[in-house]
Amino acid sequence: MKLQRTNRLRAAAVGALAVSGALVLSACGSDNNSGGSGGESTSKAASNIKCGEDANLLASGSSAQKNAMDIWTQTYQSACSGTQINYKPTGSGAGIQEFLQGKTAFAGSDSALKPEEVAQSKKVCKSGQGIDLPMVGGPVAVTYNVSGVDDLVLDAETLGKIFDSEITKWNDPEIKKLNPDAKLPGTKIQAFHRSDESGTTDNFTKYLNSAAPSAWKHEPAKAWAGKGGQGADGSSGIATNVKQNDGAIGYVELSYATGNDLNSVKLDTGASEPVEATTDNASKAIADAKVTGKGKDLALELNYKTKTEGAYPIVLVTYEIACDKGNKKDSLDAMKSFLTYTASEDGQKALGDKGYAPIPDEIIAKVRTTIDSLS
């Protein structure tokens, strides 16, 4: 009996292996395809990279940066084969923890270091402290699935009320006022938020809290604080649920909205035209940000109430976090060389078609000078 059973298990395992093997293979295939289109520009951009000393560069953090890091790493390593870059998308919190414990050379994070984290960083940076370098931006799209509606305009006020379950039907007068021409059905609104803690939630609620404080009274945080609605795991979880449910609305990074063919809300910011969620429009909003970090720290404060024409204010800015002084000696040179590339014009341009917004010129220039001075 026992023998027979192990055989059966073995057969099952072989079957499962075959299936997963096929999945892995096909996954690799699609990866190569998407990377292939950028192949030519990759080799051209690679020629401008100044390599550092060979090193093994470890980093971890924000998963929102993962795709950007993949592209950068690929290009950088094709020019500097002596340097191995390993970026683990563990999430911002875990990335900062690993950086503070001295396990990684730099961290990727969706939010700037908190004061107590800066204090802790003095231990690992010895002579210096941890600083924030804004490196990639990205619009957070509000996607929806309402049958018969494919052009929807909302503002911060209505968004706040929808996500706090104060507006519960799609034909609510407040939504009608913003969309006089749309045929809004009486469907129940199903608002989806992230159930895992996330920088996307943090930035989305920062926007709501700052642009519509009367409609959204909760403190912005990585964990969802709103009333009602449904939670879903990860951006892909939200995209799937919005797609599956008529009457659904949710917020995701732009690439998830375009990747799943979902409609995105146009924002009425007070500018003459409602603004679409695009990378260009996100860059315009980031250009309106103030640098609030002190010294070499370049932490940004976004202006969520911006009324600049074409500026889309729900944006996420992700940082690389390193020491200003006292970085690890063996990887310092490689890190400076890699970050110089990511902040360069080529590095920033490489991201446009992946749903990322380049950091505007004035700010990225400061980032470049700061990277140059890292020691």
Partner 1 sequence: MAIENPPTQGAARKGDRIFLGLSRGSGIALLVIMAAIAVFLTWRAALAISADEGNFLTTFEWDANGDPPVFGIAVLAFGTVVSSIIAMVLAVPVAVGIALFISHYAPRKMATTLGYVVDLLAAVPSIVYGLWGALFLVPHLTGLYEWLDQFLGWTGLFAYEGGAARSLFTVGILLAIMILPIVTNVSREVFRQAPKMHEEAALALGATRWEVIRISVLPFGRSGVISASMLGLGRALGETMAVATVLSPSFLISASLLDPGGGTFAQNIAAGFKEAGSMGRDALIASGLVLFVITLLVNGAARLIIARRKEYSGANA
Site residues, partner 1 (CB under 8 A): 4-5, 8-9, 11-13, 15-16, 63, 90-94, 96-97, 117, 188, 190, 195-199, 221-223, 230-233, 237, 240-241, 244-245, 248
Residue 161 beta carbon to partner 1: minimum distance, rounded to whole angstroms: 18
Instruction: Give the gyration radius of the chain's Cα atoms.
Output: 22
Neighbours of 362 (CB within 10 A): 10
Which lies closer to partner 1 via its Cβ, residue 250 or residue 358?
A: 250
Structure-token pair, residue 357: 């917004």
Residue 370 beta carbon to partner 1: minimum distance, rounded to whole angstroms: 25
Strands (E), 204-280: 230-232, 248-253, 263-264, 266-267
Q: How far is CA 23 from CA 18, 28, 205, 317, in A?
A: 9, 9, 37, 33
Which lies closer to partner 1 via its Cβ, residue 23 or residue 365?
A: 23
Round to whole Å and give the CA distance between 9 and 286. Answer: 56
Q: How far is CA 43 from CA 38, 67, 353, 365, 373, in A?
A: 9, 19, 17, 24, 28
Which lies closer to partner 1 via its Cβ, residue 19 or residue 28?
A: 19
Structure-token pair, residue 307: 């009324």
Which lies closer to partner 1 via its Cβ, residue 97 or residue 263?
A: 97
Which lies closer to partner 1 via its Cβ, residue 59 or residue 275?
A: 59
Which lies closer to partner 1 via its Cβ, residue 34 or residue 165?
A: 165
Q: Is the dihedral of CA 158, 159, 160, 161 positive or negative?
A: positive
The distance of Cα 169 from the centroid of its chain, to the nearest Å, equals 30
Which lies closer to partner 1 via its Cβ, residue 206 or residue 266?
A: 206
Residue 197 beta carbon to partner 1: minimum distance, rounded to whole angstroms: 4
Q: Report the SS3 class of residue 30.
A: helix
Which lies closer to partner 1 via its Cβ, residue 52 or residue 108?
A: 108
Residue 169 beta carbon to partner 1: minimum distance, rounded to whole angstroms: 12
Q: Report the SS3 class of residue 198.
A: coil
Residue 255 beta carbon to partner 1: minimum distance, rounded to whole angstroms: 19
Residue 20 beta carbon to partner 1: minimum distance, rounded to whole angstroms: 9
Residue 14 beta carbon to partner 1: minimum distance, rounded to whole angstroms: 10
Residue 49 beta carbon to partner 1: minimum distance, rounded to whole angstroms: 31
Round to whole Å and give the CA distance between 136 and 132. Answer: 12
Neighbours of 222 (CB within 10 A): 20
The distance between the two most distant Cα atoms of the chain, rounded to a whole number of Å, is: 77
Q: Which residue has the tokens 């909003």?
A: 285
